[in-house]
């Protein structure tokens, strides 16, 4: 919303931005002057987020759909170019948890976790490469400076230290760290920084259990159990040096750090946004 913000003139993709952390990431980027393509699995929350951002004077468009769908990545990247004429920031945030101990985990559960948390970011980044490289070549041919572009991938403390009942989720979140480090080496020549934010306990619909029962969300026709038992949540929060779960706004702030010019010489890094929690 600020024409003089730190991200003025930048164009960003944010997956999973219709709710929770992703919505706060999109809001923060827009507040700092960026134009954002807002993705969510469901059209309604994606459009709701866009309406809020544009009503406040920001620039945003919705691109709903599953990040795992064939052809999604190409369309997502194209939406940024068509709506705003470029691409400067990519935040791979979409995801959910589908937990089970390994002897009970189905192939469907395993593949769903790798699909949304690892394969989808890979496809989005692969689709973005021609757009970024073409613009870098054009800038160099014109004798213009190449702006620093940003990729921020979202991981989890489960991907760094493991977590019982989350073999698929943890494996995918560990994989995104490897993808980050590889892309940082491949895309340095384009002046692109690639970093990871690993979230700890953040208060979202995936961690909150409604009073009086189990929580569940619907993902592509499946009912996925979510939420943390309140007693277990209290135990987990006691292990966090700051003594509490983080907010979606605080999680978004950690992502924003990697999007700013102040991080233009920081790449291939993983920062834990977890209130000081260490394995």
Catalytic residue IDs:
169
CA distance 279 to 276: 10
Cα first-last separation, the chain: 39
Within its chain, how far is the Cα of 257 from the centroid? 13
Q: Which of 66, 96, 80, 93 is nearest to 35 (CA)?
A: 80
Helix or strand (DSSP H, E) at 199:
strand 192-199
Q: Which of 80, 166, 183 is nearest to 123 (CA)?
A: 183
DSSP conformation letters of 123-192? HHHHHHHHHHHHHHHHHHHTTPPPPPEEEEEEEEHHHHH--TTBHHHHHHHHHHHHHHHHHHHHHGGGTE
- Three-state SS across 221-277? CEEEEECCCHHHHHHHHHCCCCCCCECHHHHHHHHHHHHCHHHCCCCCCEEEECCCC
State the maximum Cα–Cα separation within the chain, in Å, rounded to a whole number. 64
What's the number of CA atoms in the CB half-sphere (13 Å) around residue 22? Answer: 30
């Amino acid at each position: 919303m600020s024409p003089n913000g730190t991200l003025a003139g930048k164009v960003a993709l944010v997956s999973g931005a219709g709710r929770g952390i992703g919505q706060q990431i999109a809001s923060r980027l827009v507040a700092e002057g960026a134009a954002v393509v807002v993705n969510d699995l469901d059209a309604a929350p994606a459009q709701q987020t866009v309406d809020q951002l544009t009503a406040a004077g920001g620039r945003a468009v919705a691109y709903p759909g599953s990040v795992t769908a064939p052809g999604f990545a190409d369309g997502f990247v194209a939406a940024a170019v068509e709506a705003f004429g470029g691409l400067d920031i990519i935040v791979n945030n979409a995801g959910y948890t589908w937990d089970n101990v390994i002897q009970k985990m189905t192939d469907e559960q395993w593949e769903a976790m790798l699909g949304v948390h690892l394969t989808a970011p890979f496809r989005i980044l692969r689709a973005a490469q021609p757009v970024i490289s073409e613009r870098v070549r054009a800038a160099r041919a014109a004798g213009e400076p190449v702006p620093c572009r940003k990729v921020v991938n979202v991981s989890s403390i489960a991907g760094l230290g493991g977590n019982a009942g989350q073999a698929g989720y943890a494996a995918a979140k560990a994989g995104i760290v490897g993808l980050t480090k590889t892309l940082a080496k491949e895309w340095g020549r384009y002046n692109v920084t690639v970093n990871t934010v690993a979230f700890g306990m953040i208060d979202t619909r995936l961690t909150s259990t409604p009073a009086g029962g189990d929580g569940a969300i619907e993902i592509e026709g499946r009912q996925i159990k979510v939420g943390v038992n309140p007693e277990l949540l209290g135990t987990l929060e006691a292990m966090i040096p700051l003594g509490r779960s983080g907010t979606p706004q605080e999680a978004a702030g950690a992502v924003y750090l990697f999007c700013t010019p102040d991080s233009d010489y920081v790449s291939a890094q993983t920062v834990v946004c977890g209130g000081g929690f260490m394995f």
